[in-house]
Amino acid sequence: MARTPSNMLPLGTAAPDFELLNVVKNEKQALSALKGSRGTLIMFICNHCPFVMHVNAKIAELGRTYPDKGIGFIAISSNDVENYPQDRPELMVELVKQEGFEFPYLYDETQAVAQAYDAACTPDFYLFDAELKLVYRGQLDDSRPQNGKPLTGKDLTDAMDALLDGQPISDIQKPSLGCNIKWKAQ
C-alpha cells in the first residue's frame, strides 16, 4: 500500500464549491446544501484503501455525533473506477450500509473536486468554519494500520471541539497519510 501524505492546503482557504452525485440518494447535492451551520468536514475516502478501512468505524461514530452540534459531514470518493472497480458508486452504497455512515458519500467522477481541494490521499480531512474557510487539514489521529496506536480521532476531534467552543485551533497540524488518490490517466 502506497503511503502518501496530505498536501496541506493553506489554512484560511475558501472551500471550493461543488455539486456531486450522492450515491445513496442517486441525486446531485451541492456543498451549499450540505454544509453545517457551525462548520463542515470534508473527507476524501474510498472503499478499498486499508488506511480508510482502518478509520471507517471512527468516522462513522463522529458522523453520528458532530452533525447534531452543527458540523456537516461530507465524504467524497474521487478514485478512477475504471482501474479500481472496487470504488464504483454501487459499491460505495454498500459501504455506507456496511459501515453505518449517516453522512452523504459523494462520487467525484471527473476528479475535479479532488483537484480543487489539492487532495492527495485517502483519507484526507478538511475542516471548514461556518464561513467555509479552512481551519484544519490533516490526520484523524496518529493511528495507522498495524502501527499499534489506538484509533481515537483526537487530532480531528480536538479541532472540531475548538471550532465549536470558539477557541483557536492549533496551527500545528500533521498531514494525513494514506493511499494516493487513484488519478485517471491523462
- In three-state secondary structure terms, 133 is strand
In a domain, 114, yes or no: yes
For 109-133, how does the pLDDT look when each residue is reduced to its tens digit (9 = 90+)? 999 999 999 999 999 999 999 999 9
186 found inside a domain: no
Instruction: Determine, yes or no, domain membership for 166.
Output: yes
Contacts of 24 (CB under 8 A, 6+ apart): 93, 96, 104, 105
User: Is residue 102 assigned to a domain?
Assistant: yes
Cβ pair 145, 43 in contact under 8 A: no
Q: Is 147's pLDDT higher than 70?
A: yes
> For the segment 88-103, what is each residue's pLDDT rounded down to a tens digit?
999 999 999 999 999 9
The domain in which residue 101 lies consists of: 4-180
Residue 140, in any domain of the structure: yes
C-alpha cell at 2: 502506497
pLDDT tens-digit profile of 27-60? 999 999 999 999 999 999 999 999 999 999 999 9
Residue 140 sits at the vertex; the CA angle it makes with 137 and 141, to the nearest 5 degrees, is: 120
Q: How many domains does the chain have?
A: 1
In a domain, 155, yes or no: yes
pLDDT of 2 strictly over 70: no
Burial class (CB in 10 A: 0-12, 13-18, 19+), 90: exposed
185/155: higher pLDDT: 155
Q: Look up the CATH number of the domain holding residue 169.
A: 3.40.30.10
Residue 64, domain member (yes or no): yes
The pLDDT tens digits for 149-168 are 999 999 999 999 999 999 99
Does residue 185 lie in a domain region? no
